[in-house]
Homo-oligomer: A and B are copies of this chain.
Amino acid sequence: MKSTTEYLWMHVPERRAFVNITPEVERVVQASGVREGLVLVNAMHISASVFINDDERGLHHDYDEWLEKLAPHAPTSRYRHNDTGEDNADAHLKRQVMGREVVVAVTKGALDFGPWEQIFYGEFDGRRRKRVLVKVIGE
């Protein structure tokens, strides 16, 4: 069994944004030499997500509005977590809707994707450096 582990550094200057990381994951898969296996891609921080969906600007706007409605940032005093001095409780909620990780099949040395699948980093409390883990296992 082969395995490769890499860490991608993310730095989103805004509080919230979606970043397409598919090319970075493809690069790690190719460098791993794995032909058949799985790749795990996960946010290493608990106020961020990794998820798969469409690379379409309108949809990302819809996600942002929808998540803000499901788990509003303000008033920050509505969340007990923010009594610790943080103001990011909403980010911990939004991340649960969008998910922490994806597991993707590697087949014939490439990401085995449907026609529109793209991997995104979802940042819900940015303005600082965070990491994404990419781990490939297989043969």
Q: A: which residues have CB within 8 A of B?
A: 1, 3, 5, 36-38, 40, 42-46, 51-54, 56-59, 61-63, 66, 70-71, 79-84, 89, 92-93, 95-105, 107, 112-117, 130-131, 133, 135, 137-139
Contacts and interface: CB of A to CB of B under 8 A. Distances in A.
A116 B116 CA distance: 32
B62 A89 contact: yes
A103 B89 CA distance: 24
Nearest to A36: B3
Contacts of A101: 102-103
> Interface residues of A: mostly helix, strand, loop or mixed?
mixed
A107 B93 contact: no
